[in-house]
Amino acid sequence: MNLFKNNQFFFLLHLAHIISMESIGWFTIFYFGNSWIPTIITALLLATSQAQAGWLQHDYGHLSIYKNSMWNHIVYKFIFGHLKGASANWWNHRHFQHHAKCVPQGSGCEHATCREYFFLIGPPLLIPLYFHYQTIMTMIVCKDWVDLAWAISYYTHFFITYIPFCDVLGAILFLNFIRFLESHCSQLAATCNVESSSFNDWLSGHLNFQIEHHLFPTMPWHNLHKITPLVRSLRAKHGIEYQEKPLLRALQDIIGSLRKSGQLWLDAYLHKRSCSPQGPHGDSGWGEQVGVVAEGEASSSLRAQGNILASPEPSDPGLEQFHSTTSQVQSL
């Protein structure tokens, strides 16, 4: 079936449509001016292109495009550094953790970033601050000068392009607004298995097939839908539910999950803050101990909800047999 054979023309077209959206966004604000409507249209185009660049770099990050891993790394750093302004090594580290520890079966969410993005329901400024500050500081602290050079090339061409239209402060605010839109689009579009359609597949970079992707991380995304019938039958054989949701239902569930997770962590934080460093009996460690207990209670609640802090599920013979059987698909 050649399911691990990629179509390089497919990925070339995807890169071309990203660059096209970037160009159309610039032309919109160049031709129509920097009034509200052209600015919002440009921001939507750039946020979409940024999200699509994120999906494109994903397969290069898994080294699944070229047979020569060096070329995968070069294109990967170009897309993630020059087109997105972030560190490829930073993303690799976080994504490896995601693949190493996913949400337990039955939680309804296959992506492992709910806890880290619980503040999406909070002040919007936290999103661009988190992205820009952490990626840049990671590159500096780790002395990752190659990734930093790629990131600088992104910020250089962005500000050269848009400062003439909205001055320095306006360009900074514009960039943060784009990051805000992109973060919502990226997080909500590819957090769990979503029903396949031309639009859903494009919107999520084919990562709406989260189950298939986690079984076969190096399979090119344009082949994930081909393996779905086999995965469905295999899961049915071993009594494991294949969870798939409509797009709007997935959005609703994810927002609800983020709200609950954020509330738990906020409750623990406020509980700790309300405790005086000096306990009622003069014990200087009392407040810290209560804070630890509060955080422990929040963690226990998160485990009960099946979020990423959950402890490993008890051994399930059917699940173990299922995972062992998936290796047979590699030979198809």
Query: Mapped to the 3 state alphabet, what secondary structure does 122-143 carry?
Result: CCCCHHHHHHHHHHHHHHHHCC
Using an 8 Å Cβ cutoff, are 115 and 308 in contact?
A: yes
pLDDT at 169: 93
Could you list the beta-strand ranges (E) of the chain.
none
Six token digits for residue 115? 């806890």
Q: What is the pLDDT of residues 242-254, one digit of tens each?
A: 888 887 887 777 6
With a cut of 70, list the residues of the chain below it in pLDDT: 98, 100-130, 183-192, 254, 258, 262, 272-273, 275-332
Six token digits for residue 135? 């990626």
Handedness of CA 199, 200, 201, 205 (dihedral sign): positive
pLDDT at 205: 81
pLDDT at 102: 57
Nearest to 83 by CA among 57, 45, 65: 57
pLDDT at 251: 74
Using an 8 Å Cβ cutoff, are 208 and 190 in contact?
A: yes
**Virtual torsion, Cα 265, 266, 269, 272, nearest 10 deg:** -110
> CB 267: neighbour CB atoms within 10 A?
14
Q: How far is Cα 228 from Cα 246, in angstroms, rounded to an integer? A: 16
> CB 41: neighbour CB atoms within 10 A?
15
pLDDT at 77: 92
Nearest to 51 by CA among 80, 73, 77: 80
Nearest to 177 by CA among 42, 21, 18: 42
Nearest to 136 by CA among 81, 180, 98: 81
The structural domains of the chain, with segments of one domain joined by +, span: 1-332
CB contact burial 229-259 (16+ within 10 A = b; e otherwise): ebbeebbeeeebeebbbebeebbeebeebbe
245 forms beta bridges with 194
pLDDT at 2: 80
pLDDT at 146: 92
pLDDT at 307: 40
pLDDT at 124: 52
194 forms beta bridges with 245
pLDDT at 211: 83
The DSSP 8-state label assigned to residue 200 in this structure reads: H
pLDDT at 324: 55
pLDDT at 184: 58
Q: What is the pLDDT of residues 10-54, one digit of tens each?
A: 999 999 999 999 999 999 999 999 899 999 999 999 999 998 998
DSSP 265-323: HHHHHHHHHHS-SS-TTS-TTHHHHHHHHHHHHHHHHHHHHT-TTPPPPPP-HHHHHHH
